[in-house]
Amino acid sequence: MMWAQQSGIQHQVIPLDFTIDPTSETASFNPFLDYRLQVIFHNGANSYSVPGYYAADGNAAETSASAGGIWRVNFTPDYPGEWTYEVFFKKGKNVAIDDDIYSGEPITRYDGYKGTLSVAAASPNAKGFAHSGRLQYDDSGYFSTISGRHILKFGANSPENFLACSDIDGTYSYDPTKNFLKSWSPHIRDWREGDPSWQNGKGKGIIGALNYLASKGMNSVYALSLNIEGDARDIWPFLSHHRRDFKRYDVSKLAQWDIIFTHAEQLGIIIQLVTQEKENELILDNGDLDVERKLYYRELIARFAHHKNIIWNMGEENGLAPFWPQGQSHQQRFSMIRYIHDHDPYHNPVVIHTMSEPHEKDEILSPLLRFDRLDGLSMQISNVSTIHEEFLKWSNKSKENGRKWILSMDEIGPWHTGTQSDQEDPDHDTLRKEVLWGTLMAGGAGVEWYFGWHTPENDLNAENWRSRNNMWEQTYHAKSFFDAIPYPEMSPMDDLLSNKQGYCLGKSQSSYAVYLPYGGTTTIDLTGDKESYDIWWYNPKSGGEYARGSVVSVAGGKNVYIGYAPHSHEKDWAIVLIKK
């Protein structure tokens, strides 16, 4: 049986709802585990097998409904044209995690039904992800979109419990010694008329926080989706923090998360969704890939994978370590990465968060170097002076093993300090030099700022991103510099410089970027490059216009001297050499 044709727009979600007899989150026949809605969409060579989910009354974000008879599939077509789809809707014990779409008892009202979608091309006036399409992995070492646009990721790594918002249904702290729930009230003033909220004005603070971050030119947020037994103990998708509820999900809470993720997507903000914390790696199936973990990933994929701004982060500080010897094994790590990659129809990027020390990374990450399901690393580094060196190491290792990883600087040390507030460290000189520019000049894909544990607005209690305003601004200056050069085509070339404290990123016969963290000058070896170049200087701390130094141009074919900065020779400078 064919349904009437429906329509949609490329890169925009098309929801399909299916109504059957009402049930509830707590029904004995589990609506999350004992039903499976799967819809397969086809468009020429493109095929997407998209999981559906239980949506209660279909409007749970507003009603807080825990019962109803609506199941939903969210489909975001990456390509325009005529699409066909077929519905597979089954019920049966644990059928949700059975990959055989024909298994289970058919729900005859819908199972086997077919339909068509007419998808128009995205508007040329669309902005952000609505124009460029979703994030994806390519072999450049950077996040890219389907349209081929590359994106450097800059933003907030703290608070890690971003979603611990008191306006979200079912959100509470179960540990009386740890109360880090936030209202995000300092950012209510950043909410704008027409922005989303729910239930008569709830959520304005967290929506306003995203608006503020976007206003500073930032485009990423690090957010845990599960921190039971972790540091803050206030985020989970289940009905409660009790183990008995790990196979049952809070529909209205997840619908409100979806409102937040949707708004972030419209702002061009990436959600790096961190699916587990160090302390709870073993909380689902003792770390194995079994019923609880499969269902958990299926629910995340069904409810959020359609967004074009999602990065799946498989876990904070994943693996065994001396300070916490209860962690997942190599095989468990491979299994969960493979599962989320293979079951996400859109293949959103998959990364994993690292330990902070080099020897810990070596042990855990080396077996993953040839694994074609892992797209990159969410780097944690305790000693900021080693960041540039560590990025070069893992970039080279991954490239040599045939799959170049995307490397992002997501958690800086020391753990108790991180990124201090502007009040404590108004200039952020060390972080700008060692972390921000040290990362980017090594080919890193971006930086998120971690706030530490012993700062006034820290990694758990922060709810006012204005506390790091100066850091956002300096980060934006770096973003502006790199957006103006062909960084995806450039490679680290530090050895070209005579100034061994400097960094160089270049593409022969095109352009070179030089960063001098301690000022001064340098020569650059252009013996193998016969082109002539104009030289421009850029202030990494204050941004602004490019300026001429004491040497305005050089001819290649030899070791050339770039001269001195326009002023303040002692401070850090970024220099770009552009082919005439």
Same domain, 432 and 549: no
Going by C-alpha positions, the residue among 529, 506, 503, 526 that lies closest to residue 516 is 503
Q: Distance between CA 406 and CA 408 in Å, rounded?
A: 7
My answer on whether 420 and 340 are in the same domain is yes
Is the model's pLDDT at 2 over the cut of 60?
no
Alpha carbons 334 and 317: distance in angstroms, whole number: 15
Q: Which burial class, exposed, middle or buried, applies to 199 when counting CB atoms under 10 A from its CB (0-12, 13-18, 19+)?
A: middle
- Is residue 72 assigned to a domain? yes
335 & 383 share domain: yes
Spatial neighbors of 28 by CB under 8 A, at least 6 apart, are none
With bands split at pLDDT 50, 70 and 90, how would you rate the model's confidence at 266?
very high
Q: Nearest to residue 282, comparing CAs of 336, 350, 216, 235?
A: 336
Residue 1 domain-assigned (yes or no): no
Whether 542 and 516 map to the same domain: the answer is: yes
Are 199 and 224 found together in one domain?
yes
3-state DSSP assignment of residue 366:
helix
Instruction: Give the separation between CA 324 and CA 128, rounded to whole angstroms.
Output: 40
Q: Is residue 412 domain-shared with residue 543, that is, in the same domain?
A: no
pLDDT computed for residue 159 by the predictor: 98
Amino acid letter for position 81: G
Round the average pLDDT of the chain to a whole number and report it.
Answer: 96
Residues 500 and 478 occupy one common structural domain? no
Beta strands in 528-567, from DSSP E residues, in sequence order:
532-538, 553-555, 559-561
Q: How far apart are CA 502 and CA 549, in angstroms?
A: 17
**Peptide bond preceding 31: is omega within 30 degrees of 0, i.e. cis?**
no
Alpha-carbon gap, residue 499 to 244, rounded angstroms:
61
Residue at which a domain ends, from 99, 120, 141: 120
Domain annotation covers residue 140: no
The answer to whether residues 533 and 424 belong to one domain is no
pLDDT at 569: 76
Q: How many helices (H) and strands (E) does the chain have?
A: 11, 28
What pLDDT sits at residue 4? Answer: 58
Is omega for the bond preceding 426 within 30 degrees of 0, making it cis? no
Best CA proximity match to 170, nearest among 242, 227, 250, 248: 250
The residue from 428, 458, 483 where one domain ends is 483
Does residue 294 belong to any structural domain of this protein? yes
336-367 pLDDT tens trace: 999 999 999 999 999 999 999 999 999 999 99
> Which of the four pLDDT bands, split at 50, 70 and 90, describes residue 3?
low
**CATH of residue 501:** 2.60.290
The DSSP symbol for 548 reads -
188: in domain:
yes
Q: Name the band, by pLDDT with cuts 50, 70 and 90, for residue 43.
A: very high
CATH code where residue 218 lies = 3.20.20.80
Q: How far is CA 276 from CA 272, 279, 422, in A?
A: 12, 8, 30
Helix 251-267 vs helix 204-215: angle between axes, to the nearest 10 degrees?
A: 20
Out of 429, 456, 483, pick the residue that ends a domain: 483
Of 255, 32, 269, the residue nearest 156 (C-alpha): 269
Q: Is residue 125 part of a domain?
A: no
* pLDDT, tens digit, 9 for 90 and up, residues 183-206: 999 999 999 999 999 999 999 999
Query: Does residue 308 have a pLDDT over 90?
Result: yes
pLDDT at residue 6 in the model: 86
How many structural domains does the chain have? 3
pLDDT bracket for residue 567 (50, 70, 90): confident
pLDDT band at 128 (very low <50, low <70, confident <90, very high): confident
The C-alpha atoms of residue 86 and residue 110 are separated, in whole angstroms, by 9
β-pair partners for 524: 497, 560
Rounded to an integer, the average pLDDT of 319-341 is 94
* Residue 146: inside a domain: no
pLDDT band with cut points at 50, 70 and 90 for residue 513: very high
What CATH number is given to the structural domain containing 37?
2.60.40.10
Domain match, 280 and 297 both: yes
Q: How confident is the model at residue 245 (pLDDT cuts 50, 70, 90)?
A: very high
275 shares its domain with 251: yes
Indicate the range of 30-39, 321-330, 531-540, 552-561 predicted with least confidence: 321-330
Q: Is the domain of 257 the same as that of 354?
A: yes
Length of the chain: 580
Spatial CB neighbours of 179, under 8 Å, sequence gap ≥ 6:
173
State residue 324's pLDDT score: 85
**What does DSSP say about strands 220-224 and 270-274: parallel, antiparallel, or unpaired?**
parallel
185 and 277 fall within a common domain: yes
Establish if 142 belongs to a structural domain. Answer: no
pLDDT tens for each residue of 443-478? 999 999 999 999 889 999 999 999 999 999 999 999
Q: Which domain holds residue 522?
A: 489-579
pLDDT band at 58 (very low <50, low <70, confident <90, very high): very high
List pLDDT tens digits, range 517-559. 999 999 999 999 999 999 999 999 999 999 999 999 999 999 9
